[in-house]
């Protein structure tokens, strides 16, 4: 993981249960003699996230409705630290990030605001997710001024309908729906549980259908994002997205070449045995990038 990631060491469950006493009954000793939780239990995973957010990011209240995506915090933090490097680690509320698919959990803005002081726009096609994320902000009043939530009224649009005319953002982030169908999502869940040595047929990190899959899977979603990014090329310095499947990268790189992106980067991340990638692109040349940074970050 990234050297700035706060989660390089194993979880300290003694400290985490002090921050979130509700977690304590869910802590168990695994077959290796280490304290852990049942990662197949959605409630255990949710409480672990609640404890981590309070202990490391000073989020005093956090909750999500049943069956919504409950993402692993270390991986989300890793994404943010890696894309912060694209902005030379710039800090402060003048940096504006767009989280495409902020979800009910609002995790990217919570971490990004704490670590870098960035302002965030969080978009989502699901009103219930927006309502949940807003509730998190309402319970953490110091965040309300720097995180704005916007409902995407058209599910087939990404930047259109969210970015206002001439509105500038420094970076966009996205955790796209990886799978191409509900069946593929279910198979992915079973593989995850098998890797954990578990048999329970429950998706431990949850997720509504639109969070987990879309027609054509992540490749189709990201291709749409690339196509639409061309329309707002002058409004965003760096566009980024997670890419779960390595085999999708060649087609996505060809698409970026077609739309004449000036620079394309592939940033590899690893957490344990899991490897994922960030695909990043910009339409700004070197001089434009320097001018952008000078105007907005100094």
For position 224, which CATH number holds?
Answer: 3.40.50.150
Q: How many separate domains does the chain show?
A: 1
pLDDT at 198 over 80: no
Residue 36 lies in a domain: no
In this prediction, residue 185 carries a pLDDT of: 45
pLDDT in tens, 144-189: 889 999 999 998 999 999 999 999 999 999 999 753 544 554 444 4
pLDDT at 30 over 60: yes
Q: What is the pTM of this model?
A: 0.88
The band of 3, judged by pLDDT with boundaries at 50, 70 and 90, is very high
Residues 106-142 have pLDDT tens digits of 999 999 999 999 999 999 999 999 999 999 999 998 8
* Domain assignment of residue 88, given as a range: 65-297
User: Is 122 inside a domain boundary?
Assistant: yes
Secondary structure of the chain in HEC code, one letter for each residue: CCCCCCCCCCCCHHHHHHHCHHHHHHCEECCCCCEECCCCCHHHHHHHHHHHHHHHHCCCCCCCCCCCCCCCHHHHHHHHHHHHHHCCCCCCCCCEEEEECCCCCCHHHHHHHHHHCCEEEEEECCHHHHHHHHHHHHHCHHHCCCEEEEECCCCCCCCCCCCCCCCCEEEEEECCCCECCHHHHHHHHHHHHHHCCCCCCCCCCCCCHHHHECCCHHHHHHHHHHHHHHHHCCCEEEEEEEECCHHHHHHHHHHHHHCCCCEEEEEEEEECCEEEEEEEEECCCHHHHHHHHHHHHC
Q: Confidence band (pLDDT; 50, 70, 90) for 104?
A: very high
For residue 11, being part of any structural domain is answered with: no
Mean pLDDT of 63-86: 94
Residue 1 lies in a domain: no
What is the predicted pLDDT for the residue at 184?
A: 52
């Amino acid at each position: 993981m990234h050297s700035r990631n706060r989660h390089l060491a194993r979880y300290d469950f003694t400290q985490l249960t002090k921050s979130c006493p509700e977690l304590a009954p869910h802590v168990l000793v695994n077959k290796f003699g280490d304290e852990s939780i049942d990662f197949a239990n959605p409630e255990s995973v949710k409480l672990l996230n609640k404890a981590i957010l309070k202990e490391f990011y000073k989020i005093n209240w956090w909750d999500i409705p049943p069956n919504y995506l409950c993402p692993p915090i270390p991986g989300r933090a890793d994404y943010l630290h890696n894309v912060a490097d694209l902005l030379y680690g710039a800090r402060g509320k003048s940096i504006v990030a767009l989280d495409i698919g902020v979800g009910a959990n609002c995790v990217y803005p919570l971490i990004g605001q704490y670590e870098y002081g960035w302002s965030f726009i969080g978009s989502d096609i699901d009103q219930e997710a927006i309502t949940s994320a807003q509730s998190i902000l309402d319970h953490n009043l110091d965040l309300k001024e720097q995180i704005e939530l916007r409902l995407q009224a058209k599910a087939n649009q990404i930047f259109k309908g969210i970015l206002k005319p001439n509105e500038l953002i420094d970076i966009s982030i996205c955790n796209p729906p990886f799978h191409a169908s509900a069946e593929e999502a279910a198979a992915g869940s079973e593989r995850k549980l098998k890797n954990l040595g578990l048999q329970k047929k429950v998706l431990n990190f949850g997720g509504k259908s639109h969070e987990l899959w879309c027609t054509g899977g992540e490749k189709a979603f990201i291709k749409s994002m690339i196509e639409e990014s061309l329309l707002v090329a002058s409004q965003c310095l760096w566009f980024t997205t997670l890419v779960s499947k390595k085999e999708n990268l060649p087609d996505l790189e060809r698409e970026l070449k077609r739309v004449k992106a000036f620079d394309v980067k592939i940033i590899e991340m690893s957490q344990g045995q899991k490897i994922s990638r960030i695909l990043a692109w910009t339409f700004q040349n070197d001089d434009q990038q320097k001018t952008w940074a000078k105007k907005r970050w100094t």
